Amino acid sequence: MNEWWWLLTAVLAAATIGALITLPTRAARRVARLARARKEFHAQREWLEVKFVQLAGASPRRNCRAGEDCDFDDDVAYVRNRTTSELSAFVAVTVAVGDGGNSGSGVSSLSGIRVGTAIFRFDNGHW
């Protein structure tokens, strides 16, 4: 009976030491991954915004077409899903929507302003 008690104590001690070592390491890796992802987003941001406008123009609602003014805010909010650890970047977008040049003067007039959020996801090391 005494052998089992010592074995159980040794297993619990090893598990505790393992947890104390891996938890800070995992947190440090998560911080490093966020820093790398932020740096990559900053480097690729202009291309990502162009890609967003292209994809939005292909949508049925067509709010952000090539001829319209899409203004991306400078601030970026980075969020991480606690369950899946998926990283996303949120950027505010303001779209000046025109009437398509049907005002009679040949100059497109604005029929409204739309405000939204562009969501960029970091998946498999790529935005």
Which stretches of 1-127 are assigned E, i.e. beta strand?
A: 69-72, 77-80, 87-98, 110-122
**What pLDDT, on a 0 to 100 scale, did the predictor assign at position 113?**
83
CA distances from residue 124 to 26, 85, 113 in whole angstroms, order as listed: 18, 12, 35
**Within its chain, how far is the Cα of 61 from the centroid?**
23
Backbone angles phi, psi at 37, to 5 degrees: -65, -40
When pLDDT is averaged across residues 46-68 and rounded to a whole number, the result is 71
Rounded to whole angstroms, the Cα distance separating 79 from 86 reads 8
**What pLDDT, on a 0 to 100 scale, did the predictor assign at position 120?**
95
Q: Quick check: 49 and 74 in contact, CB under 8 A?
A: no
**What pLDDT, on a 0 to 100 scale, did the predictor assign at position 53?**
85
When pLDDT is averaged across residues 16-20 and rounded to a whole number, the result is 82
In 3D space, the residue among 107, 109, 98 whose CA is nearest the CA of residue 63 turns out to be: 98
Instruction: Please indicate, yes or no, whether the overall pTM of this predicted structure exceeds 0.75.
Output: no
User: 10 Å Cβ neighbour count for 89?
Assistant: 20
**What pLDDT, on a 0 to 100 scale, did the predictor assign at position 109?**
55
- Length of the chain equals 127
